[in-house]
Amino acid sequence: MKNSFDEKVLEEANDWIKANKKVVLATVVQTWGSSPRPAGSRMIVNENGDFSGSVSGGCVESAVVKECFEILKNNKLFKKIEFKVSNESAWEVGLACGGEIEVYLEQIN
Amino acid sequence: MKLEILKEIIKKKEKKSEFAIVTNLTTGESAIYEEGKSLSKNFKKFTSQINTFFQLKKNGTIEDTDIFIESYIRPIKVIVVGAVHIAQYLVNYAKNLNLEITIIDPRGYFASEQRFPNIKIINKWPNEAFAEIKTDKNTALIALTHDPKIDDPALQHAIKNNFFYIGALGSKKTHANRCSRLKESNYTENQIKRIFGPIGIKLGGKSAPEIALSIIAQLVSEIYKK
């Protein structure tokens, strides 16, 4: 049996919209190797920088928030971004687990 | 994603219907897929592939395309017999796990709205209550009264309808007595063995929230065994 343990991120997105916030939805659409969260995992970001849900185990969320800000600033509708293995010697965002993920960002409009 | 699609998704989730969200990652267009209903023209040619993902309850991208599918299935139904103290904690854990809880208890002073706000409570004996709710092999039963006249009919219903999880509260002795009663009622050894009794995984705790946690942990682990 497949589980149905839903995280209610979309409901929260709707609540933010009702409170007149602009919301970007980030969804894991593809994974390779040992990525932390499966396809379909979600997080939402609003223009105040509030975020909820997750697309990794905390590894790339900060970068996703920045990308979402860019989308709102330029009033773009959607964008696809990839995250690869991080270089441990550098302060860059990446996945320490050795996996790769593709995240789709879309503004709710 | 269009706001109207987001609202539609939330409505469908509230109605506990099964559907999929389909998104073209190149154009940004998204739509809702439901079995037997036709999709808009840009997604129509992918209907059979989308349906394959939907039937397997899988999320993913159709090979060599930019079409992403996210499948939604109904929450798992959990019937709790006994509106007791442990049930109050169970309900809280279940909320975070998106389980759909129904409580059955013929004793009105236990099964009150005030003790279980916003939870479906059926204030009837199990046999009458089960006539009102649809149950199947994706349903779980948690029997908590350890009163044979309330628990036993519910356990029998769960066995007959092949629930994926059946658990009953009570000591080893209580459970041994329960098993002999079921045997006398002509239930087979294999059917009786399906009941987890004493219920829950071994955590060691004796308080109501700890017992509720051990029951929920066992229930979730059984979901992944099916």
Distance from CA of B70 to the nearest CA of A (A): 6
Cβ contact, residue pair B28, A78, below 8 Å: yes
A44-48, A74-78, A86-90: segment of lowest average pLDDT: A86-90
What pLDDT is stored for residue A1 in this prediction?
A: 46
| Residues B9 and B92 placed together within one structural domain of the fold | no
Model's pTM, two decimal places?
Answer: 0.81
What DSSP line would sit under A55-74, residue for residue?
SSSSSSHHHHHHHHHHHHHT
In this prediction, does ipTM exceed 0.90?
Answer: no
End residue of a domain, out of B14, B43, B72: B72
| Residues B83 and B42 placed together within one structural domain of the fold | no
Helix (H, G, I), strand (E, B) or coil at B142: strand
| Residues B63 and B168 placed together within one structural domain of the fold | no
What pLDDT is stored for residue B81 in this prediction?
A: 98
Cβ-based neighbours of B117, under 8 Å, separated by 6 or more: none
B156 in A contact zone (CB under 8 Å): no
Mean per-residue pLDDT, A55-68: 89
A88 pLDDT above the threshold of 80: no
Cβ-based neighbours of A85, under 8 Å, separated by 6 or more: A94, A95, A96, A98, A99, A100
Helix (H, G, I), strand (E, B) or coil at A75: coil
Residue scoring higher pLDDT (B41 or B103) = B103
End residue of a domain, out of B51, B72, B93: B72
| Residues B98 and B152 placed together within one structural domain of the fold | yes
A96 pLDDT above the threshold of 70: no
| Residues B102 and B211 placed together within one structural domain of the fold | yes
The CATH number of residue B172's host domain is 3.40.50.720
H helices present in chain B, as ranges: 3-14, 41-44, 47-56, 85-96, 126-130, 148-160, 172-184, 189-193, 208-223
pLDDT in tens, B76-116: 899 999 999 999 999 999 988 889 999 999 998 998 889 99
**From CA A73, how far away is CA A102, in angstroms rounded?**
22
| Residues B65 and B82 placed together within one structural domain of the fold | no
B226 in A contact zone (CB under 8 Å): yes
| Arithmetic mean of pLDDT over chain A | 86
Mean per-residue pLDDT, B160-168: 97
* List of chain B residues whose C-beta atoms are within 8 Å of the C-beta of residue A81: none
Give how far Cα A94 sits from Cα of A64, A66, A83, Å.
11, 14, 6
**Pair A40, B95: CB distance under 8 Å:** no
**From CA B104, how far away is CA B152, in angstroms rounded?**
13
B95 in A contact zone (CB under 8 Å): no
B133 in A contact zone (CB under 8 Å): no
| Residues B30 and B107 placed together within one structural domain of the fold | no
Cβ contact, residue pair A40, B1, below 8 Å: no
**Pair B129, B105: CB distance under 8 Å:** no
What pLDDT is stored for residue A3 in this prediction?
A: 53
A103 pLDDT above the threshold of 50: yes
| Residues B214 and B114 placed together within one structural domain of the fold | yes
Mean per-residue pLDDT, A10-24: 96
Mean per-residue pLDDT, A36-44: 91
Number of domains in chain B: 2
Q: Which of B2, B5, B6, B53 is the mutation pick for testing A, counting most A CBs within 10 A?
A: B6
Instruction: Give me A44's structure tokens.
Output: 């939402």
What pLDDT is stored for residue A90 in this prediction?
A: 45
Q: In this complex, which of B25, B97, B98 lies closest to A29 when CB atoms are compared?
A: B25
Mean per-residue pLDDT, B9-34: 94
| Residues B139 and B111 placed together within one structural domain of the fold | yes
Q: Which domain holds residue B218?
A: 77-223
**Chain B: residue nearest A9 by CA?**
B10
What pLDDT is stored for residue A36 in this prediction?
A: 81
Instruction: Give me B226's structure tokens.
Output: 């099916």
End residue of a domain, out of B16, B37, B72: B72
B20 pLDDT above the threshold of 70: yes
